[in-house]
Each structure stands twice: as structure tokens, then as C-alpha cells.
Amino acid sequence: MTSVYLNDRFMPLADAKVSVLDRGFVFGDGVYEMIPVYSRKPFRLEEHLRRLQGSLDGIRLANPHGVAQWRDLIGQLIALQAFDDQSIYLQITRGTPESGQTPRDHAFPQGVAPTVFMFAQPLVSATDAQKAAGVCAITAPDIRWGRCDIKSISLLANVLARQQAVDAACAETVMLRDGFLSEGAASNIFVVKNGVLLAPPSSNLILTGITYDVVLELAAAHGILHELRAISEAEVRRADELWMTSSTKEIMPIVKLDGAPVGTGAPGPLARQMDALYQDFKRQVMRA
């Protein structure tokens, strides 16, 4: 049976239980990470743990573990799984108020241990055929709060946006705020125009993806022109190429937006080049 980690112990999934008063359940008061694992090696673990620290700082929750301890726990969780390519979900909530404390109070309970939960799922990467076909997306207003840089478990707006895509038989919803591109419901969005790779800069309005950072590093290392700046809705609609990026989707071309073809309506050359660079980079990192 699947082994998961909950509060200092590894156990079968069926035995992992948290209180209904847990702040994650009652308030969505917590943060998370999704870490891809290739051939049992976590990809960009240090960067994920750094972003986790930023999220914890953002919600004023102390990190229950140091980097070395996280590394060890994640290594143990990986070793317990029956499959090699994994996506590790890691969640920390503000914990459960103790008896004698107000069961539900928006303000932080004092002296409560956080709830730490991790589990692994098989990581199913996109096939070459899927990358060659691309996916369709729709647009929707970005109705989220002003701290989208925190990887919060309060994901209702993202959940609704992603379901809108599913209802339209599409893979992703591209969110627009005040006439400008922010990101996807569960991905970052890149635009290619006239050979230049464009993306919104890191800010409180987007979650800076680990994949986003790798793509920009690869662009810089391989002389691909790129610019970080605000991108208008009109530029999104006139893009030569549109990509969604995330730890699980990697670089996935969007070929149709709101029913209209993106560029030629087929994945573009820069998406193919970046995917090849990304796959190479992954292989190098995994060999190291």
C-alpha cells in the first residue's frame, strides 16, 4: 500500500488521519510544494525548498524542518514508493488547535505544532505525441488575491479556473488581470512573438514556477532572446506561440486559445527547441 508521511511518521495512506479542526481543513491555512522526481532523484529540490520557505514566511509559519532534514525525509518517502518517476506533494498547515483553545478562530492558535503531510504519486510525463499535438486553453479573469506568489493550499479560484478549462474540453485556463497576462490555473504562461520569448516578471501576482526559472535560465544560456515584462491580452491573442509550464506538464504548447488558433495552430519551433533543452538539462542534472 502507498506509504505517506504525516507528522514525523511514515505510514500506509489509509492510516494517515488529521483532525477536522486542522487549520488546513477549516481555513485553507497552509502552503504546499509539488516536487517532480525522475528516476528517484528529486529535481531542483533546493529551489523547491527555498520557495517553500518563502511561502512559509509569507503566511508567518515557522519551517518545521531544516533543508538537510527535508532532504532526508523526501529521500525516505521516495525510497518507499514502488515507482521511479514521482511527484511529491508536500503540505504544511498551521495545525490543530488544542483542547482548551478556541476550536475555530481566524487568529493563529498559540503553541500549536504544524501539520506536515507528504505523499507521492506516479509522475506521468507528456508523450512526444502529446507535445507534438499541443493543447487548447481558454481565458478567464484572474479573480485571485494579491499574494499569488505564496504557494497557498487555498486554491479555490485556481480550482474554479481549471474546471472552466475542463468544462470547455481544454487543458488550461490562461488568467488575465486588468487586461494583462498573469498565469495559468496551475502553470506559468510564456508567449513567443517574432522569435522573442516573453513572460510576466516575478511578482505578487504570479507563482514563480521552478520550471519558469529553468526555462529562463536555459533561454539565457542558449542565446534565446527573452524579455520579462507585462504582456497585454492583445499580445496573448496575437502570440506566435503560447506555452504552459509546470513541474508536471514541463513545457506544453497551447495551440488553440478560446477556440482560435495560436500562431499557425501547431506547436512552434521555439517550444520544440526549449523542450529539447529542458529534457537535456534534466538528463544532466539527474546524472550529476
- Using CB under 6 A, list all residues that contact ligand PDD: 34, 158, 183, 186-188, 207, 209-212, 245-248
Cβ proximity to ligand PDD: between 5 and 212 the closer is 212
**Could you give the dihedral angle defined by the CA atoms of residues 150, 152, 157 and 160, in that order, rounded to the nearest 10 degrees?**
130
Residues 6+ apart with CB under 8 A from 30: 23, 24, 59, 61, 91, 92, 93, 94, 114, 115, 152, 153
Residue with cell string 512559509: 56
Q: Whole-number minimum distance, CB 59 to ligand PDD, in Å?
A: 16
Q: Could you tell me which of 182, 138, 177 has the C-alpha nearest to residue 161?
A: 138
Give the C-alpha distances (Å, rounded to integers) separating 175 from 107, 236, 241.
Answer: 31, 11, 17
Is 193 one of the annotated active-site residues of the chain?
no
Query: 215 or 239, CB closer to ligand PDD?
Result: 215
Report in angstroms how near the CB of residue 246 gets to ligand PDD at its nearest.
4
Return phi, psi of residue 196, to 5°: -105, 130
Q: Pick between residue 97 and residue 123 the one whose CB is nearest to ligand PDD.
A: 123
- Cα–Cα distance measured from residue 206 to residue 181, given in angstroms and rounded to the nearest whole number: 10
Q: Which is nearer to ligand PDD, 59 or 97 (CB)?
A: 59
Are 4 and 11 a contacting pair, CB within 8 Å?
yes
- Of the candidates 151, 249, 256, 282, the residue annotated as catalytic is 151
- What is the dihedral angle through the alpha carbons of 37, 23, 163, 193, rounded to the nearest 10 degrees? -60
Query: Nearest residue to ligand PDD, using CB?
Result: 209
- Rounded distance between C-alpha atoms, residue 4 and residue 10, angstroms: 6
Between 96 and 187, name the residue whose CB sits nearer to ligand PDD: 187
Q: What residues contact 11, with CB distance under 8 A and at least 6 apart?
A: 3, 4, 5
The CA–CA distances, whole Å, from 262 to 79, 193, 220, 271 equal: 42, 11, 25, 13
Residue 209 — φ and ψ, nearest 5°? -70, 150
Q: Which are the catalytic amino acids?
A: 151
